[in-house]
Structure formats: structure tokens, C-alpha cells
Structure 1
């Protein structure tokens, strides 16, 4: 059953629905009114200037009308607001956090995702849920992953171009282009915005070692908060800088190693030992930060959270660069070449594609009964 009641002389509305109770201000309800005088019917964008509404606006009446609330405001405005808009139905499904013992193995087929919207949606849902997905059957050519990027994209271009090589070269401009191991890190924290998803495609892999490592940064943040709240708090507040510079490029940005959303939950992690530049903060602050960073480092490099993968030719790893730390073990070439290709796709286009595909897959979107 659904019940509503007004309080605070009509400036508040309390909605009781099953075991959920929520309270709304009259002004919030008025500016979200779905009528065509308030919101454009085609775009859903607001037509009125919300900042000009009376700050003391009141509701004079509120009644349940089927699957909506019928509202009458003191300024004479009337509307019906669908209950589903008020009951906090999540836009996105929850994420599944994992450690080494419980790590998932989300997989997808390149050709299927390229040809079928349902398969593409499954790939994108897995990527959102688990933070990564392993794609098989990618054509063994330099831009083999490009057609699937174009189904989601666009491809994010950087100072290195679009899709770039990841292989050992002489006079490497980045440590990625050597045979050394790489500590767990996130890519490009010196950019604004930071690239959202990393696409890593294996062409050949005649190497001893070179396994990829993955760590769920959200799980690492959760473990740190449970075990060392002081360290967790420090890493959400101190904002180190990050810098990349070469002959033609100079990039700088800053941000906390653990960034929280409005609900106090991790929404982005950063770690880049190669590019971090901590400012000369107060000594006491630095002492706390360095101890906190050490605690976080020990978590993200330990066996407890680390998943090991070795890509074979024709496989591709798509990783959430806001959530996962990735690295690799050092390698030696075994009479051949280790050649991977890497590109970036931003979060907004990826999330948009997933949400549109899910909406199209819903029964009512196909003209079937909801």
C-alpha cells in the first residue's frame, strides 16, 4: 500500500510505500513536475527557471492516483508525478566487488558482441559489474579491436594517437614499453578527464612471464576502511599531483588516491608511482599520508587481492580505469615478440551505450506488455 501525508504547513510531503518511507520538499516536487509547461515532452528538459520558484512554496493537496501522485501547489500548479520517479529505482545495477579468492571470470565473444545487441549488452553489463571483461576472437591485426570500439566509442585520442603499441622498444618513452614489471597502477591520472576504460588487445605473446595483474580498487578501499580508518580518511582528503612530460607534451592533474561519491563510497581510485608528485604539505600531513599510502600499497600488491591473467593472441582485456589497478610481471622474450595494442574509451559513451541497450531490451520498449 502507498500513503502520503503533508507536514510543515505543506512544505514537506511524506511518502510511505511498503516498507519504505521518504520525505520530499514541495519545491523539489514542483521543479520536477512532468507536465508539458514545466518539462519539454520530447527532451525531458526543464522549461521553467527553477531558481525563480518561491522558496516557501507549499503543497495544498496530495493524493495517490493509480501509479502516480496527484499534487496541487499553493501557486495553483497541478501535476501528476509517477511513483517510480520517487521510489529510488537505481539507474545502474550494483557492482560486484571481488578479491583473489572470489574473482569472477567475465568473458565475451568479439564477433557476437559486434553483431548482436544482446551480446554487446551482456559484455557491457559484465564490465560495469566486475570492472573488467576478457574478450576472445579479436582479429589478429593492429586495429582489430576498432570495430567493437566503434559500436560503443568513440575512441579516445591522446598525445600517443588512437590505438597505440605496447611492446618493448629501444629508447622507450614510457616504462610500459620495456620488459620490466609494472606495479599496480591506474592509467593517466595526469589527464583531465582521466580515460575511463582501457582496451588491451594481444597480437602475439612469445614471452616468459609478462602476466597481467588486476586488483579491484573498490575492494581494496573497503578493506582499508575496515582495517585502518585513519589511513582511509587520509587518502580521501590529500590530493597528490600527477605529471607526464616529454618533448611535445606536458600534462598535470591532481586527485585523491581514493575518491568518494556523494554517499561516501569509492567512485574512483588512483595510483601511479611513476607519475605521482606529492606537494610539500605540512610535515604532519605528509607523515600520515606516507603511512596511509604504504598501507594501501601493501593491499594492492598482496596476494589477497591480486588476480593473474596471461593474454593469448586474439584475446583482449577491457578494464575500468576508475576502479581497477592493473600491472604486469617482468618478462623475457622467448625467441619472438610480445606485441599488444592499447586504446581508451571514455566512461560517458560506454555508460550511455549500456543504458540505451538495456532500455531497448525491456519488454515495453518492444511494444510488449510491461
Structure 2
């Protein structure tokens, strides 16, 4: 029941696809290509607030003016906002982001092939409207590019904006005792409560949901974590589980994992759940062992699941490094699951370096002071990001009792999308960056 309700709550909010309009009223001003030496020679000034009547309530709400100009060579559009850092947009970027009907479909998809655009884009004329800028090009006579001002503000790529966006997208660390909690009633009774739950998962990678009915309900794609006499997976035993991520033998491993406690008898000893934010551990490892950190980001490990003696035989192998870095040298993903790793298959000169770094990182994980421990009670559900948070379990003894968890997965990209759509629906700024969720995205 919990999974049906939870997934329905998340899936209720679909991406909003309102198209930004292009007005048909005459332009405020017209200017030929500005040929001055300075970036802002004789700029056009928008003297009134940009009209918000047909845009979302968050669209340029604070804007009362913007100065625009063109670089001497016509290759750059300069925008000086009344508030915030100045922006520079390359002609080729503007041409590729045209919002006219010939270039972009109502739902936002591009209609053009990249080869339909000119190789270079030099501004020959500029018209400024209430809520968009119209650009003509020397290389493409007859085409007028339309780009909404809101779009320019939202997708500015100046150094200052990129740095702030990067800071805002970094995962938070839950430094308090225990794990952030919320009741099922709060999640179900309001969109604000649902958003708070999703925000806990986005910010900290985990959340404990309390007061859930324990009556099991058969829905698609759940799995039962219960002791079996001849288990096909170590999770279906009473053994200790080392901290790990699930199913790294897949190209795209599961995103959120939900584990709902249906029964945990008082006579059962052990069996507590462990959670650890591995992004936090990896950053500490970079500081304490920079060379070994680089080795784990460079040398690929082998992740595998090979098991023929089961109802659905499986033979999967996947090779990649434990740590993925983006173009800014930031952690975009971590992959860690000792129990499902296969033989290392790398160049001879990398073998010893890998195992040294592997052992040191394993120690950093095992002895981390950020480990969260919780013994689930019937009616609890622990929800965590499998792409960021390692999970494990203490060994347990049943003593005649029963320990039964029901689990399922949610795609990490769907979660991130629904979280951002709900944030927008509740009045947060369009384009507000989400936290990095470990899905290998470089934002």
C-alpha cells in the first residue's frame, strides 16, 4: 500500500511544458550592428518592467530594466541586467536556442538539424521587444531568431552564474543525529508535505517515513527482503551486509530505494539498517589521499552479476571507475558494491595502485563518523538515494521471529524531474538547480 501511495504522489506531478510566447506587438527599438570598441556602446535600454501577464509568476519578477549591446565583431550579445552579473551570449549559442515556430516545437523540442544552422552566427540587426529579443544574421538572410529574455536570464552561463549554480547543486550533509523523518500523513495531506519529503531525499539522500500501514499489497516490481532457506542473493539471508549500492552491474542502476518494514518481531536480535552518504566520504578521501582518489577516478573496476542456477539466469558485467568526475573536477557519481565486484581487468602497471586506493577508500567508508544507524519498526519505510547513499545491515538472529521488508525502486531521473516540477508548482523559481543525485549528470 505504501508503495502505491508514494509512487502515485510522486507521479501525480508531471513536467510542466508551458511555452514562452512571442508577442506580435511592434518592437520597442531597432538598432543596426553596433560597431564601437566597447561592449556596451549606445546600449538599448528597457525602461519598463517586462510584462508578466503571459509568463509564470517567477519570470523576471525583479527586472525593471536591462541594457543590451553587441560586440564589435557581432559575435556576442551583451546583456547588463539591472540586478545580478552581466551576461554574454555567443551568436552561435543564440542561433541554436531560437524559439521561433520554424526552429522549436510547442513542447520545446528543436525542429532543426545542427547542419541546418550556419557554422558561424554574426548579428546584423537587433530588435528589442517587451519579453524577447529578435536577432538577424549576416550568414542567414531572412531568418529572425527570437529568444525570450526570461530564457536568457535562466540560462546565463557567465562565470559568476555557473559558480553559484554549482554551489547550489552540491549535496548537503545531514550532520544531526539519526535520519530526517516525516510521517506518511504529512506526505499525503498536502503538496507542501510531499515537497518536504522529496526535499529531504534531494538534499540529504535519505528520509525515514513513519506511521505506514503494514498490510502488504501486491504491486508490480517489488521485492521481498526476508530470510530464505536457499537465497539467490545474500540480502535474502540473515548475514551481515557490507555497505553497498544495488545493481551496479547495470549501465543505469536503480535510483531511489524504498524499504517498507512489514514485520520486525521483538525477539529478533540484530538486523539494524546502516546508511552512509558516500559523496561526503569521497570528498574527505580526496582531501586525505589525493593520489589514491585520482586512481579510483581513473582505473576501472569490474561490477558483475553472474548466476545461472536461478529461475531467471543472469550474466552481466560492467567496467567503470569507482568515482566519476565532471569537467569541473567535481564528483558526479560514485560506484561501490564490494559483494558484486569481479576480477580486476586493467593494465599491469595499474593493479597495485588500484588495490592500494581500493583498500584505503574501503577503510574510509568503514570507519566514517557519518554512518547512520536505524532499527526499523513495523510501519517504518526508509527511502534513500541508491546512487548516493550506501546501505547495509547488521547480521541478525530470528529466534523464532520474523523480519520482513518490502522494497521497490524509483528511477532517479523521474524523481529529480518530479521534485523540480512540484517545486515550480509551489512557487519556487523556474530553473532552480536541484542537488546532484549521482546519476552521472555533469550539472
* Same fold by TM-score greater than 0.5: yes
- Measured against aligned partners, the alpha-carbon deviations of 1:166-212 in whole angstroms (never above 9, x if no partner) come to 12221121111122211111111012321111111111123222221
**Structure 2 SS opposite 1:327:** strand
The separation in 2 between residues aligned to 1:229 and 1:65, in whole angstroms, is 52
**Structure 1 SS opposite 2:110:** coil
Displacement of 1:16: 4.1
Displacement of 1:95: 4.5
Cα 1:78–1:177 change in 2 (3 A) is closer
Is the strand fraction higher in 1 or 2? 1
The separation in 2 between residues aligned to 1:209 and 1:307, in whole angstroms, is 15
1:174 aligns with 2:241: no
- Measured against aligned partners, the alpha-carbon deviations of 1:155-176 in whole angstroms (never above 9, x if no partner) come to 6xxxxxx211112221121111
The separation in 1 between residues aligned to 2:358 and 2:320, in whole angstroms, is 14
The separation in 2 between residues aligned to 1:8 and 1:227, in whole angstroms, is 49
Contact 2:258 2:384 (C-alpha < 8 Å) held by counterparts: yes
Q: 1:242 aligns with which of 284, 303, 306?
A: 303
The separation in 1 between residues aligned to 2:131 and 2:281, in whole angstroms, is 42
Cα 1:21–1:228 change in 2 (3 A) is farther
1:287 aligns with 2:362: no
Displacement of 1:268: 1.9
**Structure 2 SS opposite 1:27:** helix
Displacement of 1:50: 2.9
The separation in 2 between residues aligned to 1:278 and 1:176, in whole angstroms, is 22
**Structure 1 SS opposite 2:119:** coil
Contact 1:133 1:318 (C-alpha < 8 Å) held by counterparts: yes
1:79 aligns with 2:114: no
Q: 1:273 aligns with which of 320, 338, 341?
A: 338
Cα 1:312–1:92 change in 2 (3 A) is farther
Q: 5 Å matches for 1:108-257?
A: 108-143=182-217, 162-206=221-265, 207-246=268-307, 247=309, 248-257=313-322
Report how many residues are paired: 348
Cα 1:255–1:16 change in 2 (3 A) is farther
TM-score (norm 1): 0.84
Cα 1:141–1:62 change in 2 (3 A) is same
The separation in 2 between residues aligned to 1:283 and 1:73, in whole angstroms, is 55
- What residue ranges of structure 1 are gaps of 5+ in the alignment? 147-154, 156-161, 366-370
- What residue ranges of structure 2 are gaps of 5+ in the alignment? 1-64, 431-443
Displacement of 1:58: 0.6
The separation in 1 between residues aligned to 2:177 and 2:127, in whole angstroms, is 48
Contact 1:95 1:128 (C-alpha < 8 Å) held by counterparts: no
Contact 1:4 1:62 (C-alpha < 8 Å) held by counterparts: no
**Structure 2 SS opposite 1:255:** strand
1:49 aligns with 2:108: no
Cα 1:282–1:118 change in 2 (3 A) is same
Aligned CA RMSD, in angstroms, stands at 2.8
**Structure 2 SS opposite 1:37:** coil
Contact 2:178 2:374 (C-alpha < 8 Å) held by counterparts: no
TM-score (norm 2): 0.71
Higher mean alpha-carbon deviation, 122-131 vs 80-89, is at: 80-89
Cα 1:7–1:108 change in 2 (3 A) is same
- Measured against aligned partners, the alpha-carbon deviations of 1:287-336 in whole angstroms (never above 9, x if no partner) come to 11111111211111114221111111100011101101111121222441
Displacement of 1:70: 4.5
